[in-house]
Structure 1
Amino acid sequence: MNKLSSWVETLEKFMAMILIAAMTIIIAVAVLFRYFLNAPIFWASEASIFIMAWVTFLGGSLGLKYRSQASVTFLVDRFSEKGKRYLEMVSYIIILVFIGILLYLSYQWLFSVTHQTSSSMRIPMWIPYASVPVGLSFAFIHLLTHLVNLFKTKEQGGQTT
């Protein structure tokens, strides 16, 4: 599981770097064309919105991989180490079930828009919409890896190893 999660992480980072670079170039060129050449690029805003959707879902998945979400822990801090561990397991299971439901619904949604095209770029809409199930699939893999690792660890001397 760890190898799969690491491979997905590498893929996400690579995709995010390419997409952010592309969005930066597209927006910069669009600004230059609009203000200096007086010839706006009609598809630039649509492309940047689609790229931002992809970057958002990839970044959200990476945030789950690194456990970098904001959290309020005043209640959790009152539990023992064993209690915190069980609470973390339960929370991972709840999140995995929720993501599983969202994945099912997002794939249904994706397959329902196979014949639509975007208004400016005329690309199939499944390409930008695929950001949702792809990002959720990657997030599911990362969370499942965390849960499996949590079940594998043994509590020793107050620390999990």
Structure 2
Amino acid sequence: MNDLSPAPATRGPVYRALDLASRLCITVAGIQLVTLIAIFGWLVFGRYVLNDTPTWVEQAALLLVVWITFLGGAAGVWNKAHLSIDFLREMMPLPIRVPLRWIAVIGVIIFGCYLAWQGYELSDKTWRRRIPMLGIAEGWRAVPMAICGVLSVLFSLYHLVTLARGQDPLEH
């Protein structure tokens, strides 16, 4: 933590709420990952021991992977652990580095808005179809995309405010 970052005890309710949302994403994605492993265990058991392959496992796995990926991606935006090539930016002198940080955060906001919009559109357009073998709405595959977009925007707006205050958003 640098000198500009607030100590954990002094962080405000917005920070705590966003951090809680990120932790919730990680927790839900973790539970889904354990579920994914368990259902693949059931697939192997059913196929090789019972000689009766559970056909729903593939569709459930595809659904879980989408949720795990997007929830983890949203949490990555908050924790600044998402895919980025920041080592070049951070090697630059401060007068160049600061505007590049602004551009990066604004870029994530724009991408998050687009992701939320397209996730909503895709979910809305596919809601009436059913996922084979599961019988639930196909739109559930796009819901995590919209959630990730909204959370990425919220997390990045917080990082933008942190930058505007002259603090380093790369540090929590």
* Aligned residues of 2:116 and 2:148 also touching (Cα < 8 A): no
Deviations 1:85-130 (A, max 9, x none): 2210122112211221232222122111121100111111122221
Q: After the TM superposition, which parts of structure 1 deviate over 4 Å for at least 4 consecutive aligned residues?
A: none
CA distance in 1, matches of 2:63, 2:167: 44
Structure 2 counterparts to residues 12-51 of structure 1, below 5 A: 12-51=25-64
Summarize the alignment of residues 63-82 of structure 1 with structure 2, pairs less than 5 Å apart: 63-68=76-81, 69-71=83-85, 73-74=87-88, 76-77=89-90, 79-82=92-95
Distance 1:101 1:57 in 2: 14
1:69-148 residue pairs with structure 2 within 5 A? Answer: 69-71=83-85, 73-74=87-88, 76-77=89-90, 79-148=92-161
Give the CA RMSD over aligned residues.
2.1
TM-score by structure 1 length? Answer: 0.86
Question: How much does 1:39 deviate?
Answer: 0.6
**CA shift for structure 1 position 141:** 1.8
Shift of 1:77: 4.5
Once residues 157 and 167 of structure 2 are traced to their aligned partners in structure 1, the CA distance between those partners, rounded to angstroms, is: 18
**Alignment partners' CA distance in 1, 2:90 and 2:114:** 30
The number of equivalent residue pairs is 156
Displacement after TM superposition at 1:43 (Å): 0.1
Amino acid at match of 2:141: P
Read off the aligned partner of 1:23 and give its amino acid letter.
L
How far did residue 78 of structure 1 move?
5.3
Q: From the superposition, tell whether residues 70 and 93 of structure 1 become closer, same or farther in structure 2 (CA, over 3 Å).
A: closer
Alignment gaps of 5+ in structure 1: none
